Structure 1
Amino acid sequence: MPDRRLGAGARIAAYRRLNRLTQRGLAARANVSHSLLTKVETGSKPASQSFLAACARALSIPVTHLTGQPFIEQQAEDRLSGPLNDLRASLENFDLTLDDLPVRLLADIRPDVRDMVLARRDAQYARILGRAPALIDELVQQSQILTGHDAEQAHHLLVQLYRSAADVAYALGLADLVSLLLARMDFSASRSGDPYQVATYRYMRAYSTFTTGRHEVGQKIIRAALADIDIGVRAADPVAVCAAGNLRLRASILATRQGDAEAARGELAEARHLADMLGREVTGSDLATGCAGAMSYGATNVAIHSAAVELELGNHRSAVQLAKQVHVPSGYPPDRIGHHHIDTARAHLLIGDNDGALTSILKARQVAPQKARYHPSVRETIASLVHTSRHTPDSLIGFAHWAGVQL
């Protein structure tokens, strides 16, 4: 297996040779540009997530083989290995009552789950891993002991907790753990008595198709979720509108991965209409209080995705211009801001603006350091910056060492 310390381009080249494919052969099989493949393999261009997924599918390997995930050294440095094992152990039980397991009342557990939701939005992976296993044990026990509405509430809280943990597992490149958490989400969502928890599960399931390249499956999942909550959307229920808006945004990115610009922009238009219908940003404290279980949503999220869609479609200058128009309100989720800066950095790099790319990467680290440390696009951008810079600034060298990028 190719060295994990290699860049994605070098790993693509190594697996291509193992499969006895020429560059043109792999480009044809993956349906990607031959010239782009050449540039990615030499390190002069960063590989996008969609590009990596296409190559991985063509090579019949997990995409994490190309991204180099999981980043074992960084996990060890951040002391995540033990908590990850605890999380896996907690997921063994989802439907059994255990003897002598002390549990608190749901009213006492709920604030801790809210804290995990907010930790997810802050991209605080260690905080989630440190507390989620014990909370899962408590809530599974309560979901089996309680009956009626109380049991549904326990499952509702479990969906939120599983989602927070799934975001961490996805960020760390642990595909098997993501699949297990999705299965647990499905189990509890179907028992929560809340169609919006089912929508949350489907939203996350569609997300997982990004890494496999099965975008057509993701679109089917989203269509089913939208149909389930259509009545709530028509009634202008804020929770339904938030869910539908996020599903539309996810559909827009899936459409770009399928190369369908018209469909992507159509989904954005639907999402923009839903943001107008909502009339405000749902963030922060709304999640577990006024809009219990709602996904955060609003015009800012639509603006961020508008730039991301143009980036995915290859319109890099348009992406940069749209990114400049994003105005982040106070209290906006750091996880989402960090992702926006990561995407913007890649757009700057692709138009030859290395200074702009580095500035955006540093902003991502400032607002969401754990996200920046583990996001494979960050490593790709840093590696390309090093490759294409005449003089490597100290800030870039320091960032590369911090993120574990081999210079």
Structure 2
Amino acid sequence: MPSIVYRGVGPRIAYERRIAGLTQADLARAAGTALGTIRKIERGERGASDAVLDAIADALDIDPTRLLPDRERPDDRVHAAMPGLSAVLAAYEEPDDGPCRDLPALREAVSTTVGLRLSAQYSRIARSVPGLLAELCRALSTAPSVDRPAVARLLVDACRAADAVAFKHGARDLSARLLDLMRWAGAQADDPVVDAAVAYVRTELHFGARTYTVGLRALERALDHAPRADSADVLAARGALHMRAAVLAGRAADSAAADVHLDDARALGDRVPEGVYRGTAFGPNSVRVHEVSVAVSLGDDHVGRALKLAREWKPPRELPAERRSGFYIELGRAQLWSGRPDAAFESLKVARRIAPQHAREHRWVREDAATLRRLKRGDAESLSNFAEWCHASIS
């Protein structure tokens, strides 16, 4: 994938560096970049490639999109990745020859990619995932039989990260093809927990098509076939399916089914500590986030339940950024529906601070920002800037 060079990032980098209490030399050491490079970027004498921008963002412990000037599109590298992903999908059963790292190195690379997905770093995933998927397809085609299930599991995880990029950026056809690759790889993983994870992710098709009742039936079938054991991975896999089934039931306006699945998710969440299990966050806090989501999906009288829970509880920082951001997006919608536009805008801003790329590409953020802008047409410039940032239609 060709590198993108970002111009005009120097002032943002200098500002964030000073906020972090770092000198230019400190930042150069932390980012593994030459001091002269940092100086030239901050003075505007050169741009920053996507790799350098990522390294600087890592050193500052911030999302790289915070370093971009307003005129730059943080999703440029995402769109640049689409042809590479399409090429992988066209040849995954007969991949081209090429280098393959050993299994431990592939595990490490996939683990890094999963971490980027959980923190909603979609642009960074886009830069590396086409090559990673191609390499995993080659590894699967040449792996000895004893290693094939392990490689297949890694391919499922990498596909899930690539799908997060495609789905969030509206590339629904590409997302559907990635889900097919995930299912193909999952069938070779010889692991019922992987099967449950694939079923969990494939419900995106139903969220996108708004076929919520069909998606709910598919998840309930997956639950019928899901493993039953007392290990944390198995409990979390079942609990995650119940969480997502509850949301689908909420979107389908089936409050009875939503309550049943939430009850089952709570019971399973009480049996495992909050954590990330096979790439999915699950535990008591994740269930609470989904309680808000279900209440907002059901709407009407249920919205008060979301507001009540949010008054009593906030997602801890230990939860993945994507999930915490989602909580505030859902809360903002509940506040907007309850006639509290100022509170709703504050929630959307919190969602943006936690995971900018997740908030920017979320359909509800765009819809709600547009509604807020219409309600407060003569009001704060910050609201107009926010609406423009997330491409909200204000007409």
Same fold (TM over 0.5): yes
CA deviations on 1:288-319 (whole Å, 9 max, x unpaired) are: xxxxx252201111111111111111122222
Q: Equivalent residue of 1:357, what SS?
A: helix
Distance 1:75 1:81 in 2: 10
Structure 1 330/340 Cα, relative in aligned 2: closer, same or farther at 3 Å? closer
Structure 1 294/387 Cα, relative in aligned 2: closer, same or farther at 3 Å? closer
CA deviations on 1:65-106 (whole Å, 9 max, x unpaired) are: xxxxxxxx986763322112212212222222533x111111
Aligned equivalent of 1:136, options 133, 138, 148:
133
CA deviations on 1:144-183 (whole Å, 9 max, x unpaired) are: 1012231111111000000111111111111101110010
Q: Amino acid of the residue matched to residue 240 of structure 1?
A: V
Structure 1 137/79 Cα, relative in aligned 2: closer, same or farther at 3 Å? closer
Aligned equivalent of 1:163, options 157, 160, 163:
160
Aligned equivalent of 1:79, options 77, 80, 93:
77
Distance 1:307 1:405 in 2: 24
8 A Cα contact 1:239 1:295, kept in partner:
no
Aligned equivalent of 2:233, options 239, 245, 251:
239
Q: Amino acid of the residue matched to residue 275 of structure 2?
A: V
Q: Equivalent residue of 1:123, what SS?
A: coil
Deviation at 1:137, TM superposition (A): 1.1
Q: Amino acid of the residue matched to residue 285 of structure 2?
A: T
Q: Amino acid of the residue matched to residue 145 of structure 2?
A: G
Q: Amino acid of the residue matched to residue 247 of structure 2?
A: I
Q: Amino acid of the residue matched to residue 92 of structure 2?
A: F
Deviation at 1:394, TM superposition (A): 2.0
8 A Cα contact 1:206 1:217, kept in partner:
no
Distance 1:76 1:123 in 2: 13
Distance 1:155 1:210 in 2: 26
8 A Cα contact 2:75 2:123, kept in partner:
no
Aligned equivalent of 2:250, options 247, 253, 256:
256
What corresponds to 2:169 in structure 1?
172
Report percent identity of matched pairs. Answer: 32
Q: Amino acid of the residue matched to residue 150 of structure 1?
A: D
What corresponds to 2:122 in structure 1?
125
Correspondences of 1:58-97 after superposition (within 5 Å): 78-97=76-95
Q: Amino acid of the residue matched to residue 267 of structure 1?
A: H
Distance 2:317 2:368 in 1: 28
Correspondences of 1:143-154 after superposition (within 5 Å): 143-154=140-151
Q: Amino acid of the residue matched to residue 317 of structure 1?
A: G
Distance 1:206 1:402 in 2: 29
Q: Equivalent residue of 2:129, what SS?
A: helix
Distance 1:121 1:208 in 2: 20
Structure 2: runs of 5 or more not aligned:
1-70
Matched, 1:303 2:288: yes
Structure 1 236/371 Cα, relative in aligned 2: closer, same or farther at 3 Å? same
Q: Equivalent residue of 1:153, what SS?
A: helix
8 A Cα contact 2:193 2:226, kept in partner:
yes
Distance 2:267 2:235 in 1: 10
Deviation at 1:107, TM superposition (A): 1.1
Structure 1: runs of 5 or more not aligned:
1-72, 288-292
Q: Amino acid of the residue matched to residue 245 of structure 2?
A: A
For normalisation by structure 2, the TM-score amounts to 0.78
Aligned equivalent of 1:395, options 379, 382, 392:
382
Matched, 1:378 2:376: no
8 A Cα contact 2:289 2:315, kept in partner:
no
8 A Cα contact 1:304 1:323, kept in partner:
no
What corresponds to 1:282 in structure 2?
275
Distance 1:166 1:193 in 2: 22
What corresponds to 1:16 in structure 2?
none
Distance 1:119 1:163 in 2: 11
Greater relative contact order (Cα < 8 A, sep 6+): 1
Q: Equivalent residue of 2:146, what SS?
A: helix
Distance 1:259 1:222 in 2: 16
CA deviations on 1:357-377 (whole Å, 9 max, x unpaired) are: 010000010000001111111
Distance 1:350 1:328 in 2: 21
What corresponds to 1:269 in structure 2?
263
8 A Cα contact 2:216 2:245, kept in partner:
yes
CA deviations on 1:101-151 (whole Å, 9 max, x unpaired) are: 111111111111001101110011111111111111111111010122311
What corresponds to 1:34 in structure 2?
none
Deviation at 1:390, TM superposition (A): 5.7
Correspondences of 1:330-369 after superposition (within 5 Å): 330-369=317-356
8 A Cα contact 2:366 2:393, kept in partner:
no
8 A Cα contact 1:207 1:250, kept in partner:
no
For normalisation by structure 1, the TM-score amounts to 0.76
8 A Cα contact 1:97 1:145, kept in partner:
no
Backbone CA RMSD of aligned residues: 1.8
Structure 1 96/77 Cα, relative in aligned 2: closer, same or farther at 3 Å? closer
Q: Amino acid of the residue matched to residue 405 of structure 1?
A: A
Distance 1:406 1:294 in 2: 34
